[in-house]
C-alpha cells in the first residue's frame, strides 16, 4: 500500500503547483527533533488563532463512530488550528471504522487543512478513534512545522508512530485488479518542490514533470535519506542543488502495459511501480490501494 496524490492545486513559494492524485550529494541536516518540537510546541500550546472557530471543523464519519469520539477528534483538530500562527481557513476530517477482525488498527482518520493557501493532509490508523484523533493532531503539527521551514527536509527514518498508516486489506492475488484509473495534469517543478508537496500531503510517492529535464519523474520515500528520484531516462543529479538530500535510482524504468505492471506488482509485492507506458511513452504509477486492489495514475495527454 502506498499513499499517492489526487488532483489539486497548492501554492509553493508563491507559485501555483498542480498535484497529481496521488540527493543530492550534500551533507546537510534533516529537520531535527529540536526544530520540529519548537514548532509543534507552539501549535500545541501557543497563542490562540481565533480565525477558525471549533464548529468550523467539518467531520464526516463512516461506520460505527460514536458521537463522543467524533466530537473528541473535532476538538483536537480545532485546538491545533486555533494555535496555528498561520491562517487556517478550512479544516475537514473523515473518520471511519473498518468492521473486520483481521485489521489491527480499524480506526481510520484523515484531515485536510488549508493553511495560508497551502493544502495539508494527514492520514492515520489506530486501535481506537480517540487514539487516531491524538495522532492526527500530532502529525498535523509536524506537517505545519514542515511548511514553516520548507528548507528542512522531513526526518528519516520515520518514527514508528508516524507510520501508523491504514493497512491494506488482504486480498488474494487472483482477485486483484486495477480498481481506479486517473489521468491528470502533472506539476512541472524541481525535485525540492516535489519533496515539499509530497511531505505536506503525507504521500509516499509523487508523480511530476522534472523542471530540469522535462521528463516524467517520481520522488518517493526510501533509501538512506528518505527521498529518491527516478526519471524516465536521465540519471544525472539535479542541475541546481537544493536543500533536499535526494538520491537517484540506479534501475532503468521499464516499458510496460498496465497489465504487465500489475503482474510485476503481484510478483514483487512492492507498494508501487513507476513505468513508461507502452502506448503513450509517458510515465505512469501503479500503486497498491487500501482495499487490496490497484490504482493507476497517468498524465493527462492534450
Q: What is the domain-level CATH number for residue 134?
A: 3.30.160.100
- For residue 141, being part of any structural domain is answered with yes
Are residues 185 and 87 located together in one domain of the fold?
no
For residue range 10-65, what is the model confidence (pLDDT) as tens digits?
Answer: 344 333 333 343 322 222 233 343 444 444 444 444 444 445 665 689 999 999 99
Domain membership flag for residue 133: yes
Within this chain, do residues 131 and 66 fall inside the same structural domain, yes or no?
yes
With respect to residue 73, please indicate whether it lies within any of the assigned structural domains: yes
Statement to judge: residues 201 and 142 lie in one domain? no
Name the pLDDT band for 279 (thresholds 50, 70, 90): very high
Q: Is the pLDDT of residue 101 over 80?
A: no
92: cell is 475537514
Q: Say which range, 151-160, 198-207, 238-247, has the weakest mean pLDDT.
A: 151-160
In the chain, the number of structural domains is: 2
Same domain for 142 and 201, yes or no, is no
In a domain, 168, yes or no: no
142 and 194 together in one domain? no
Assess whether 207 and 118 both reside in one domain.
no
Read off the pLDDT of residues 180-236 as tens digits, 9 standing for 90 and up.
Answer: 999 999 999 999 999 999 999 999 999 999 999 999 999 999 999 999 999 999 888
Answer with the one of 148, 181, 199 that is the final residue of a domain. 148
Any domain includes 157: no
CA atoms within a 13 Å half-sphere pointing along the CA-CB vector of 228? 13
Q: Check: CB of residue 83 under 8 Å from CB of residue 45.
A: yes
* Domain contains 165: no
Q: Which residue has the higher pLDDT, 22 or 105?
A: 105
Same domain, yes or no, for 97 and 189? no
Going by the DSSP 8-state scheme, the letter that residue 131 receives in this structure is H
Residue 60 and residue 144 share a domain: yes
Higher pLDDT, 93 or 168: 93
Same domain, 109 and 181: no
No. of helices (H) and no. of strands (E), the chain: 5, 16
Q: Which domain holds residue 43?
A: 32-148
What does pLDDT average to over the chain?
84
Residues 97 and 182 grouped into a single domain: no
Residue 1, domain member (yes or no) = no
Shortest CA distance to 216 belongs to which of 199, 234, 238? Answer: 234
Same domain assignment for residues 178 and 126: no
Residue with the bigger pLDDT between 208 and 9: it is 208
CA–CA dist 171, 291 (Å, integer): 8
User: b/e per residue, 173-186, with b = 16+ CB within 10 A?
Assistant: eeebeeeeebbbeb
Residue 234 CB neighbours (<10 A) = 15
Residue at 132 is within a domain: yes
**What CATH number is given to the structural domain containing 293?**
3.30.505.50
Tell me the pLDDT band of 102, cut-offs 50, 70 and 90. confident
Within this chain, do residues 273 and 180 fall inside the same structural domain, yes or no?
A: yes
What is the per-residue pLDDT for 20? 41
DSSP at 79: H
CA distance 212 to 216: 11
Amino acid at each position: 500500500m502506498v499513499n499517492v496524490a489526487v488532483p489539486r492545486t497548492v501554492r509553493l513559494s508563491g507559485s501555483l503547483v498542480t498535484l497529481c492524485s496521488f540527493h543530492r550529494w550534500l551533507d546537510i541536516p534533516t529537520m531535527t527533533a529540536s526544530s520540529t518540537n519548537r514548532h509543534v510546541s507552539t501549535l500545541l500550546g501557543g497563542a490562540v488563532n481565533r480565525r477558525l472557530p471549533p464548529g468550523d471543523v467539518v467531520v464526516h464519519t463512516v461506520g460505527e463512530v460514536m458521537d463522543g469520539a467524533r466530537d473528541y477528534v473535532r476538538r483536537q483538530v480545532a485546538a491545533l488550528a486555533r494555535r496555528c500562527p498561520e491562517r487556517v481557513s478550512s479544516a475537514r476530517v473523515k473518520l471511519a471504522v473498518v468492521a473486520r477482525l483481521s485489521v489491527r488498527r480499524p480506526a481510520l482518520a484523515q484531515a485536510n487543512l488549508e493553511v495560508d493557501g497551502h493544502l495539508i493532509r494527514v492520514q492515520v490508523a489506530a486501535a481506537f478513534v480517540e487514539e487516531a484523533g491524538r495522532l492526527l493532531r500530532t502529525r498535523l503539527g509536524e506537517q505545519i512545522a514542515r511548511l514553516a521551514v520548507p528548507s528542512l527536509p522531513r526526518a528519516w527514518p520515520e518514527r514508528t508512530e508516524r507510520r501508523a498508516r491504514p493497512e491494506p486489506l488482504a486480498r488474494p492475488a487472483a482477485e486483484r485488479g486495477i480498481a481506479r484509473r486517473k489521468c491528470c495534469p502533472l506539476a512541472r517543478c524541481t525535485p525540492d518542490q516535489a519533496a515539499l508537496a509530497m511531505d505536506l500531503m503525507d504521500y509516499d510517492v509523487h508523480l511530476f514533470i522534472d523542471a530540469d529535464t522535462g521528463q516524467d519523474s517520481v520522488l518517493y520515500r526510501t533509501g538512506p535519506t528518505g527521498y529518491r528520484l527516478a526519471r524516465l531516462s536521465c540519471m544525472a543529479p539535479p542541475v541546481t542543488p537544493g536543500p533536499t538530500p535526494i538520491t537517484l535510482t540506479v534501475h532503468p524504468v521499464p516499458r510496460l502495459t498496465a497489465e504487465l505492471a500489475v503482474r510485476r506488482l503481484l510478483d514483487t509485492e512492492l507498494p508501487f511501480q513507476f513505468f513508461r507506458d507502452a502506448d503513450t511513452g509517458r510515465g505512469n504509477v501503479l500503486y497498491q490501494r487500501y482495499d487490496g486492489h490497484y490504482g493507476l495514475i497517468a498524465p493527462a495527454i492534450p
